[in-house]
Structure 1
Amino acid sequence: MSSGNSTPLDLVPDPVYQSPVIQMIVNRLMKKGKKTVAYALCYGAMKNIEESTQQDPVQVIEQAIRNVTPNLELKSKRRGGATFQVPVPVSGRRGTALAIRWILTACRKRSGRTMASKLSNEFLDASKNMGAAVRKKEEMAKMAEANRVYSTGRF
């Protein structure tokens, strides 16, 4: 299985747009190993984005992910029996993964008929710095700012 090194595997870009970000989204969207269903949902959402904005859907999605990617996250650290929420910087890949997870969580909670339309609307909102996923990022930033006293010279 793993050879002991902790380097992440390189993602194979998706077959249509040749974008590793789209592949990450499809992998997170997939339930119970049904990748063809995940591709259909993702590409349906991308078609909706293209029709409504007349822009390249990959660029809209990448902008949405950039807008949702956090700079800091909170890690629980125990010191002397007390648990502190310590803000730590987020690495690039982890930030992208968090952004995708938050966007998909937000679109699953969204009201609407089809998953493809909910997904496209959430990506459009996030690309305009609106929506539930962007609020989640802002909440995280506020909490990190509030717990800044516990960071030991990380800023």
Structure 2
Amino acid sequence: MAFKATASARQLQPDPRFNDIVLSKFINCVMERGKKATAQRLIYAAMDIIDQKLSKETSPEAPKSAIEVFHRALENAKPFVEVRSKRIGGANYQVPIQVNKKRQQSLAFRWIINGARAEKGRGMASKLADEIFSAAKGEGKAMATRDQTHRMAEANKAFAHYA
């Protein structure tokens, strides 16, 4: 069956500040109880914090803008394989399977947001900025979750023929 874009995917507008559709999806994932303006304010505050951190960066291969850091963090946090439970002959096996692009993106969003929400004691904007910045460098809770997922898939590679 061919992929058919849903109405929500067609109607999604890019965010007003960076004109980026992926960031608009991320804002929708951060949003709680329908408060989109609050989510936008939070994301943009996090982007401002990332810009401040970038001004202190001296590395030549460092990204130039906050939106580049955001996209690099997403690319780093995306998983390539995951394990799914499959019942075969009365036994449950953890079968490693490839992850499609849409699910890769949603998992990366979820892991970054959950990593930021897990911290205590600071504002959400600074926690989110730290998690995005550390994911862009290949560190942080989102990257730990991705690595754990990859390790699980590697450990259960023997059951790949059940996929």
Q: Is the contact between residue 95 and residue 162 of structure 2 (CA under 8 Å) also seen in structure 1?
A: no
Q: Distance in 2 between matches of 1:33 and 1:134?
A: 28
Q: Is the contact between residue 112 and residue 118 of structure 1 (CA under 8 Å) also seen in structure 2?
A: no
Work out whether 1:60 is the aligned partner of 2:69: yes
Amino acid at match of 2:122: R
Correspondence for 1:45: 46
Distance 1:142 1:26, change over 3 A: same
Correspondence for 2:23: 22
Correspondence for 2:111: 102
1:1-150 pair list within 5 angstroms: 6-8=4-6, 9-10=9-10, 11-54=12-55, 55-150=64-159
Q: Distance in 1 between matches of 2:38 and 2:4?
A: 30
Structure 2 gaps, min length 5: 56-63
Give how far 1:112 is off.
Answer: 3.7
Give how far 1:7 is off.
Answer: 3.0
Q: Distance in 1 between matches of 2:128 and 2:48?
A: 11
Give how far 1:20 is off.
Answer: 1.3
Q: Distance in 1 between matches of 2:120 and 2:129?
A: 13
Give how far 1:153 is off.
Answer: 7.8
Q: Percent identity?
A: 37
Write out per-residue CA displacement over residues 26-68 of structure 1, whole angstroms, 9 at most, x where no aligned residue: 0110001000110010000001101111331110000001111
SS of residue paired to 1:31: coil
Q: Give the TM-score normalised by structure 2.
A: 0.87
